[in-house]
Structure 1
Amino acid sequence: MSTTIVIADDHAVVREGIRGLLRIDPGFTVLAEAENGETAILMVREHRPDVLLLDLMMPGMGDAAEAMIGLIRKASPETHIMILTSSDDDRLAFKAIEAGAHSFLLKSMRGEHLLNAIHAAGKGTPTLHPLVAQRLLNSIRNPQPRQFEDLTARELEVLRCLAEGGSNAKIAAELNITEKTVKAHLGSIMSKLDLTDRTQAVALAWRAGLMKQ
């Protein structure tokens, strides 16, 4: 039996690419496409596909992504919601899963792995991208201090490196990112934690026990 699919992504070229990939496997049937969240809900309600490939980065989604997933589940409870997005932001992944998404994958993955994941979804088996799965396990094993809940996984890494005495250059080398990116992360960290300088950030990290993780 063919696995029926609806593709929801605001980029036409991405939808065409996914559709082309799915044509490789005769076990898949694409029923419809959507370029925004509202259309995705309508298409799911109309077609009740086995699998919905949903990009959370579409215009109009943002903070409404969780509500959107809830509406999709209500429209077709039997549909397997597979998030396929370019963002590996932990909070985005965790909130999507908490809202009812069954699988979470990144667009950077190989095509064959996506096909395997969709086959599994058609049988009711969820799939998490290895990076997301690892971070989810880490968050369970090592829950971060409450004051750092708004920081992304990368920002936490930057903060830990900073607390260990790392300069921007050293942090960039250790995390394999540019110094410009390090500065951007540090700016975001300072803003989220309402701090004014690096010394305060280091003191807070040590005081909260962040380095014990």
Structure 2
Amino acid sequence: MATSPLTNEDLRLLIVADNPLARTGLVALLNYQVGFNVVGQVAADADLLQMLDIYRPAVVVWDLGWEPAATIERLREVRDSQFRVVALLPDEDFAANAWRAGANGLLFQNVQIEPMMAAIQAVANGLMVLEPTLATQSLDNSTTNVETLAEDLTPRELEVLQLLAQGLTNKAIAQRLAISDHTVKFHVNAIMTKLNAQSRTEAVVRASRFGLILL
């Protein structure tokens, strides 16, 4: 089977897995899909920051293995580099820890190729993706779940949140939405309260992690 021709829009993927067979399998699976380019594969104990600098992937596909505790801790250690991760889990028991460690997408290791491809695309676009059976779990102690959080924010608050993500000031948001500065401040305070955020920046980061806005 021949691989599809690469284009400038192909998503650059880095595969991380301790098991060489898992790495090889993911490379073979994803490299044959239109729109994807696996630029490298490494073990979790490699110098990941260096690999990220070399390969500059849009998304890291990280197989956490069958005993993920050490691998999840490794993810937590390197998370400050701001790369996006789709984590592959053996089961739901490790979902909360992987989420708190910084994964942007959580899938089971037996996921089919179509939903995996969709999840990678979504994470590359700044969204968070959960295996359907995980969507109702509380993955973060400071929130209930994604659906509840999305329902709590009003349409106007979501508008304000998206403009905050674009770096607009309260005054600029007021002009854009044709509302008063006072009303914008009210919405911002409500957003921070609902997202359990201590600052505007933290609110934007948390909203992005939950897939409520695009960055």
CA root-mean-square deviation: 2.5
Partners in 2 of 1:55 and 1:41 — Cα distance?
A: 17
Other-structure match for 1:113:
115
Give 1:36 shift.
2.6
The residue type paired with residue 65 of structure 1 is I
3-state DSSP of counterpart to 1:117:
helix
Partners in 2 of 1:114 and 1:85 — Cα distance?
A: 12
Other-structure match for 1:17:
25
- Point out the structure with the larger helix share: 1
Partners in 2 of 1:71 and 1:45 — Cα distance?
A: 16
1:71 equivalenced with 2:73 (yes/no):
no
Structure 2: unaligned runs, 5 residues or longer: 1-8, 146-215
Other-structure match for 1:33:
41
Other-structure match for 2:98:
96
Give 1:98 shift.
1.7
Partners in 2 of 1:73 and 1:26 — Cα distance?
A: 28
The residue type paired with residue 20 of structure 1 is A
Give 1:40 shift.
3.7
Other-structure match for 1:151:
none
Partners in 2 of 1:15 and 1:57 — Cα distance?
A: 11
Partners in 1 of 2:78 and 2:66 — Cα distance?
A: 15
What's the TM-score once normalised by structure 2's chain length? 0.54
Which of structures 1 and 2 has the bigger CA Rg?
A: 1
Give 1:83 shift.
0.6
Other-structure match for 2:6:
none
**1:9·1:54 contact (CA, 8 Å) conserved in 2?**
yes
1:80 equivalenced with 2:88 (yes/no):
no
Structure 1: unaligned runs, 5 residues or longer: 142-213
**1:83·1:103 contact (CA, 8 Å) conserved in 2?**
yes
* Selected match of 1:57 from 55, 58, 65: 65
Give 1:41 shift.
4.0
Other-structure match for 2:186:
none
